[in-house]
Structure formats: structure tokens, C-alpha cells
């Protein structure tokens, strides 16, 4: 082991077998190979990340709609007046409003969950909760919401709104009878 008389022992040492004045570090070729391997790995993982992000957005949209429905029902009971929940025209946006006097209580924009579409199984996109928390069944109402993503091979969700005010989310792809996610 060689050391300089002017430097501490640890600074003047060099690796065994190294030539004096030899450069230490990473060469350009080693760096290019590392970058190429990382690029290949990321390109293979990108589709899975896209699908996972789409599934997260779908779950967020379904939770947002459920929260809006629960909020509309709770406000109907709290205010002792009818409160409506209206699904947006596109995307997964919604609005909760008091029926009389008409006033918007809360809303979510369609763009909060990009790529997610919420559709109604009926012609109506509105459900009204009575002061008792039940659903007003005197008119055609929103009874089921289907959520889907624009990305292929992603999850789907269905939200059912029952007459007694019960709101339930389920996964239409689950078929096992004992699975609580089943529709």
C-alpha cells in the first residue's frame, strides 16, 4: 500500500493493482448500458401502471358518488325537506341540491376522475331523497349507476340505490355466491 507523506494514510491509498494516474469512476458505455436496461424495464411495466391508475380513478369516482348519495340522504333528514342527487351528463360528476327552496348544497366536477364514465340504467339521472331518508318513487328515478373506465382490462363498478335509501356498491364481474362484492 502506497501513501503520500503529506496526506493522511486513507487519502493516499490506491487500490491494489491500479496503475498510478488511472481514472476511477463510471465509463460512458457503462452508463449507456444502465440507461438502456432501465428503459426496457420501464417500457415493460408501463401498461400495468396505466391499468392500475385507471382502477384507482374508478374506485375514487365510485367512492365520490357514494359519498354524494349518502350526503344527499343525510341532508334530506337533517333539513326535513327533499334533497336530490343528480349525476352529471358526462364523466362521474354530480350535484346535491335542496328541492325547495332550490339551492345547490355540494357538487363535484366531471373532470375529477378522468377517463371514468358513469351511466344510468334508466332515463333519469336524478334521485330524490324524502325527509325520512327514503327514495321518492313517485317518478322515474336513478336506481343504478354503472361505472367504467376508458382503459382496456380495468375494473367496473355498479352502484345500486334501493327504495329504502340503501346505497350499495358491487363488482359485476364477481360471480361467487359467498363473495360480498358480488352484485
The predicted-structure confidence for 124-141, as pLDDT tens digits, reads as follows 899 999 999 999 988 889
Q: What separation in angstroms does the CA of 4 have from each of 1, 10, 16, 18, 95? A: 10, 10, 15, 16, 77
Instruction: State the Cα angle at 108 between 103 and 114, rounded to 5°.
Output: 155
CATH number of the domain located at residue range(s) 28-170 in this protein: 3.55.40.10
- The string of pLDDT tens digits covering residues 139-169 is 889 899 999 998 888 889 999 999 888 999 9
Q: What separation in angstroms does the CA of 92 have from each of 27, 73, 107? A: 52, 19, 11
Other C-beta atoms lying within 10 Å of the C-beta of residue 42:
10
Q: Residue 153 and residue 102: Cα distance in Å, rounded?
A: 41
Q: What separation in angstroms does the CA of 167 have from each of 55, 57, 63, 70? A: 21, 20, 11, 8
Burial class for 20, CB neighbours closer than 10 Å (0-12, 13-18, 19+):
exposed
Please report the pLDDT score of residue 4 as a whole number. 55
Other C-beta atoms lying within 10 Å of the C-beta of residue 44:
9
pTM listed for this prediction: 0.74
Q: Residue 43 and residue 57: Cα distance in Å, rounded?
A: 22
Q: Is pLDDT of 12 > 90? A: no
Q: Is pLDDT of 8 > 70? A: no
- The string of pLDDT tens digits covering residues 61-74 is 999 999 999 999 99
Q: Which three cell numbers stand for residue 159?
A: 352502484
Please report the pLDDT score of residue 13 as a whole number. 57
Cβ neighbours of residue 103 closer than 8 Å, sequence gap 6 or more: 97
Where along the chain do its domains lie?
28-170
Q: Across all residues in the chain, what is the average pLDDT?
A: 86
Least confident range from 22-26, 44-48, 75-79, 96-100: namely 22-26
Amino acid at each position: 500500500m502506497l501513501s503520500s507523506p503529506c496526506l493522511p494514510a486513507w487519502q493516499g491509498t490506491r487500490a491494489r493493482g491500479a496503475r498510478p494516474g488511472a481514472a476511477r469512476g463510471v465509463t460512458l458505455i457503462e452508463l449507456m448500458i444502465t440507461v438502456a436496461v432501465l428503459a426496457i424495464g420501464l417500457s415493460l411495466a408501463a401498461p400495468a401502471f396505466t391499468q392500475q391508475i385507471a382502477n384507482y380513478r374508478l374506485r375514487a369516482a365510485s367512492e365520490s358518488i357514494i359519498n354524494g348519495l349518502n350526503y344527499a340522504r343525510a341532508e334530506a333528514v337533517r333539513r326535513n325537506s327533499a334533497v336530490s342527487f343528480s349525476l352529471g351528463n358526462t364523466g362521474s360528476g354530480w350535484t346535491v341540491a335542496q328541492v325547495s327552496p332550490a339551492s345547490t348544497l355540494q357538487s363535484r366536477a366531471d373532470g375529477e376522475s378522468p377517463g371514468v364514465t358513469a351511466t344510468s340504467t334508466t332515463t333519469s339521472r336524478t334521485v330524490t331523497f324524502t325527509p325520512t331518508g327514503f327514495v321518492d318513487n313517485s317518478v322515474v328515478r336513478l336506481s343504478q349507476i354503472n361505472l367504467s373506465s376508458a382503459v382496456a382490462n380495468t375494473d367496473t363498478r355498479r352502484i345500486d340505490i334501493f327504495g329504502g335509501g340503501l346505497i350499495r356498491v358491487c363488482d359485476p364481474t364477481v360471480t361467487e355466491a359467498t363473495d360480498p362484492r358480488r352484485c
